[in-house]
Chains A and B, each alone.
Chain A
Amino acid sequence: DAKTTQPTSMDCAEGRAANLPCNHSTISGNEYVYWYRQIHSQGPQYIIHGLKNNETNEMASLIITEDRKSSTLILPHATLRDTAVYYCIVRAREGTSYDKVIFGPGTSLSVIP
């Protein structure tokens, strides 16, 4: 799987959009970009994933650049409950019946009142 790099930490004002970048410059054509987050004292939570088109769900939007070398996770109106570590993960299709996820260090997002 391609390696990802993320900022170690970020702050965001409550109510503002939180934009979390991820660099995956060595991504291959069949690799998806996944985002998970982990709120303190909880297990990781799946947020969203995409291949090349922008994606949106009830939690967030995922913007992938045209060359697919980077992406941005957008939380449109950050709340204090969005304070968490956010993990960007690139996953390749392996034809297996399971999903081997390798977590990197992630970005620690602090939402400030």
Chain B
Amino acid sequence: DTEVTQTPKHLVMGMTNKKSLKCEQHMGHRAMYWYKQKAKKPPELMFVYSYEKLSINESVPSRFSPECPNSSLLNLHLHALQPEDSALYLCASSQGQTYQPQHFGDGTRLSIL
């Protein structure tokens, strides 16, 4: 069992759909992260939130829109995705200081039709 919970575990959507991925942690962590992972590749950082403010956007296309409503929740809003966006999307959190290890969820496997 992981302490970072991601929902849904699987998502299939069409290119015109709008959907959201959700991530939740109750460890009091103040930094939260979104990663994208393609098959047989390492995770790639997308966004970092620190104290509920967006700190890093790794040049992610605007069809991905992150949101951090409070310190425990992180959302990733999806709109007009492309087939190449099919991947495992991982959420992570850390205590909010450099060097503190990240805790990962098990991800949402997204398929774009």
A104 located at the interface, meaning its Cβ lies under 8 Å from any Cβ of chain B in the complex = yes
Q: Which residues of A contact B90 (CB under 8 A)?
A: 43-44
Residues of A within 8 A of B44 (CB): 103
State whether A102 touches B30 (Cβ < 8 A).
no
CB contacts (< 8 Å) of B94 on chain A: these are 98-99
Residues from chain A with Cβ under 8 Å of B96 in the complex: 97-98
Known: A43-B4, A96-B50, A98-B94. A34 touches B101 (CB 8 A): yes
Contact among B2, B55, B106 for A98, CB-based, below 8 A: B55
Q: Are A95 and B98 in contact (CB under 8 A)?
A: yes
Per the 8 Å Cβ criterion, residues 46-97 of A in contact with B are 46, 49, 85, 87, 91, 93-97
Using CB atoms, name the residue of chain B closest to A104: B42
CB atoms of B99 and A103 under 8 A apart:
no
* A34 nearest in chain B by CB position: B101
- Kindly identify, within residues 1 to 48 of chain B, every residue whose CB is under 8 Å from any CB belonging to chain A: 2, 4, 30-31, 33, 41-45, 48
Give the number of residues in B that approach A within 8 Å (Cβ atoms). Answer: 31
Q: Which residue of B lies closest to A46 (CB)?
A: B101
Q: Do the beta carbons of B42 and A43 come within 8 Å of each other?
A: no
Does A43 contact B105, Cβ atoms closer than 8 Å? yes
Question: Which chain B positions have C-beta within 8 A of A102?
Answer: 45
Chain B interface residues toward A at CB < 8 A: 2, 4, 30-31, 33, 41-45, 48-51, 55-56, 90, 92, 94, 96-107
> What are 19 sample pairs from A and B whose C-beta atoms fall under 8 A apart?
A42-B106, A43-B4, A43-B104, A44-B102, A44-B104, A45-B104, A46-B103, A96-B50, A96-B98, A97-B50, A97-B96, A97-B98, A98-B33, A98-B94, A99-B94, A100-B48, A101-B45, A102-B45, A103-B44
A interface with B by C-beta (< 8 Å): 32, 34, 36, 38, 41-46, 49, 85, 87, 91, 93-106
